[in-house]
Amino acid sequence: DATARLAALQGGQVHMINRVEPKVVDLVKRIPGVSIENASGKGYYPFNMFCDTAPFDSNDLRMALKLAMDRDEMLEKILRGYGSVVNDFPINEAYPLFTAIEQRKFDPEKAAALYKKSGHSGSILLRTSDVAFPGAVDAAQLYQQSAAKAGIKIEIKREPGDGYWSEVWNKQPFSLSYWGGRATQDQMYSTG
């Protein structure tokens, strides 16, 4: 519980906490005797799509959704710069065999063309919850705004935290999630 961890730090009950939510980092920095130490990790916050379920079984639609995300804005506004942008696969610089490839950029014109080519019309339902990751609901709303610039209507359904992992995650075709890293890249590809 992020609130309990922060209260314990402020009250002097603990000397350090982990997983400080980006939106409260500036508050934590103002606590006397406390500093923020940032370390890169192997976890990531995906927007999961079931590629075998319509409309996500269309590669054109999936690529349109990828290009409709302003990743730099997401990093700045949701994570407050505490993170990195990766390219639609679960491996980042924290893995020893990470290979940098050209990052997909926000391209609403190309996203719009691919969306039209996909043949899909109407809104796309994205499910999220506060428990998915810190800032998940805000991330969904920011994505909704950037996708709208490509003419893609994202409908957000804010799910309750209770039951999100049993009723939404890996059960609904488009949802936000959190994945912790694995010891090796091979484990990430085969279990993540």
Start-end ranges of CATH 3.10.105.10 in the chain? 47-191
pLDDT-above-70 percentage for the chain: 99
Alpha helices, DSSP H only, in 45-93?
Answer: 59-67, 71-77
Per residue in 133-191, pLDDT (tens digit) is 999 999 999 999 999 999 999 999 999 999 999 999 999 999 999 998 898 888 888 87
Spatial CB neighbours of 109, under 8 Å, sequence gap ≥ 6: 150
The yes/no answer on whether domain 47-191 falls in CATH 3.10.105.10 is yes
User: How confident is the model over 175-185, as pLDDT tens digits?
Assistant: 999 998 898 88
The pTM assigned to this predicted structure is: 0.90
Contacts of range 49-54, beta carbons closer than 8 Å, 24 or more positions apart = 49/173, 49/174, 50/173, 50/174, 53/173
pLDDT at 180: 87
Q: Is the peptide bond before 55 cis (omega within 30 degrees of 0)?
A: yes
